[in-house]
Amino acid sequence: MIDTGEIGVLFDIDDLGGFYRYSAFKVLFKNLDPKRLTGCTLLDGDTSETLAGHATTYCVAFQAADSAQAAYIREALGDCDEEGLAPTSSRFIEGEVTGRHPLVVAGRIDEEARLVVRKEEGIGQGWVEGTRWTVVSQ
C-alpha cells in the first residue's frame, strides 16, 4: 500500500446536530484506538463545499498517516453506522486533504497515544470519557 499522507473522515452536519464538532469527535473517539494512530495530527473544519454553501459536510483529517493507519481508519469506520457519518460511498477523502479544504489543527497524537491539544481548541478530557483516549492540554 502507498502512504497516503492524509485521510479525511466526512460527516453530515445536519445529522450530527447543533454541536457538530463535538459530536463528530465523539464518533471518532468511540470507534478508533489512539494507539494505532500515534504520530498523526488531527485537523478539522467545514469542507470547502460547505463554506461555499453547496454542502453541509464537516471533515476531520488525520495528517502524517501512514498506509497502515489509513487502512485502519477506513476499516474501523467503513461499515460503522454511527449517526452523523457521511454515507459509506463518500465517507473518506484521501491524498492532500488539507490542500482542498481549509482545516485547522485540532491536536496531535503523541508517542504515548495521547491527544495533545492547545487549551484554546476546546477539546477536553470530558470529550473522551468512556473511551481509550486521553486528552492533554498545553
In three-state secondary structure terms, 109 is strand
Between CA 69 and CA 62 the distance in angstroms is 9
Q: Which residues contact 50 (CB under 8 A, 6 or more apart)?
A: 13, 56, 57, 58
Contact 31, 122 (CB under 8 A): no
Domain edges within the chain = 5-137
Q: Which residue positions in the chain have pLDDT lower than 50?
A: 1-3
* pLDDT for res 17: 87
Has this prediction a pTM greater than 0.75?
Answer: yes
Which grid coordinates belong to 73?
481508519
Q: What is the pLDDT of residues 74-98, one digit of tens each?
A: 999 999 999 999 999 999 999 889 8
Distance of CA 107 to the CA centre of its chain: 10
